[in-house]
């Protein structure tokens, strides 16, 4: 008996934010394969994303048949098996994956996500523009009392998922603030879901640097699409800008705000890393 998973896992990177993707549409027979795994999707997500027994990714994404007018539905998991309503970098990767591997009829792809409709446009040369879910300020100035004895002030925004955003003098400061980010990420004042924590610093008039401590990963990641939009949103409001370049550790993204439209545009790259056939002996 062949121990290899009959459906390939594709590893992709969006500005260094990595994902494992599976074509889980009805035509691939994924439903039958999934039954043989005898594992829940969160458990399988943890295994696939594992740095030792998996493909070492930040997230796991299953692309399913679209319904209700959507081209595709997606089912997204963080590498700890938890779910997230939306992931901007995953959206770019999913768009290129669907366009090049699943052959949709057009380069404008409509995804049904936990945050609602997300539309992605394949621009070519590995660049993807994503129309994000509605972005909004939940609380422009929220103060969180920490165990460090400080009261930390953030802007709490939702760009598909919640982000606490704080401006720094220099991004070098972020290295010493990871423990603070970890505490604030699950602060009791935010409820059970908590929030991602995104720090940013000004690079130039239309450019900032940012890094996000992500829920589910529980660490800084090389890039976070919703975090880039969150930081750009806070900075754009302060400086009255319509376009902001966001440099994250893994790569750059451009965020554009269109007057009268609550859904920002986020543009960046998405690349294929490789394809893998998982050895099911690991599952047993």
Q: 22 near 230, Cβ under 8 Å?
A: no
Q: Which two tokens stand for residue 55?
A: 């493909």
Q: Which residue do the tokens 């709490």 mark?
A: 156
Q: Which two tokens stand for residue 275?
A: 């394809």
The sign of the dihedral angle between the CA atoms of 91, 214, 249, 203 is positive
Question: Parallel, antiparallel, or unpaired for β 162-167 and 196-204?
Answer: parallel
Distance, in Å, from the CA atom of 284 to the CA atom of 276, rounded to the nearest integer, reads 18
Q: 108 near 95, Cβ under 8 Å?
A: no
Q: Which two tokens stand for residue 100?
A: 């090049």
Residues carrying an active site annotation: 87, 224
3's CB contacts (< 8 A; 6+ apart) are: 279, 280, 281
Angle at 198 between CA 195 and CA 202, to 5 degrees: 160
End-to-end CA, the chain: 14
Residue 18: what are its φ and ψ, rounded to 5°?
-105, 150
Q: 131 near 119, Cβ under 8 Å?
A: yes
Question: Parallel, antiparallel, or unpaired for β 271-276 and 9-14?
Answer: antiparallel
């Amino acid at each position: 008996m062949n121990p290899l998973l009959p459906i390939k896992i594709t590893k992709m990177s969006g500005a260094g934010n990595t994902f494992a993707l599976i074509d889980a549409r009805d035509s691939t027979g994924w439903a039958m394969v999934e039954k043989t795994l005898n594992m829940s999707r969160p458990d399988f997500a943890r295994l696939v994303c594992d740095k030792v027994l998996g493909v070492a990714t930040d997230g796991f994404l299953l692309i399913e048949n679209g319904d209700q007018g959507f081209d595709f539905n997606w089912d997204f998991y963080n590498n700890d098996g938890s779910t997230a309503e939306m992931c901007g970098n995953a959206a770019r990767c999913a768009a290129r994956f669907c366009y090049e591997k699943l052959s949709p009829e057009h380069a404008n792809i409509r995804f049904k996500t936990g945050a609602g409709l997300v539309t992605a446009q394949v621009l070519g040369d590995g660049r993807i523009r994503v129309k994000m879910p509605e972005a909004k300020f939940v609380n422009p100035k929220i103060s969180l009392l920490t165990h460090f004895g400080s009261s930390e002030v953030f802007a709490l925004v939702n760009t598909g998922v919640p982000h606490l955003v704080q401006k720094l003098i220099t991004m070098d400061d972020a290295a010493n603030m990871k423990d603070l980010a970890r505490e604030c990420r699950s602060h009791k004042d935010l409820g059970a879901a908590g929030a991602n924590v995104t720090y940013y610093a000004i690079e130039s008039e239309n450019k900032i640097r940012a890094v996000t401590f992500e829920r589910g990963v529980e660490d800084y990641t090389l890039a976070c699409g919703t975090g880039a939009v969150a930081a750009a949103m806070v900075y754009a409001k302060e400086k009255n800008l319509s376009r902001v370049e966001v440099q994250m550790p893994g790569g750059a993204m451009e965020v554009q705000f269109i007057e009268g439209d609550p859904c920002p545009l986020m543009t960046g790259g998405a690349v294929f890393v490789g394809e893998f056939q998982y050895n099911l002996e690991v599952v047993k």
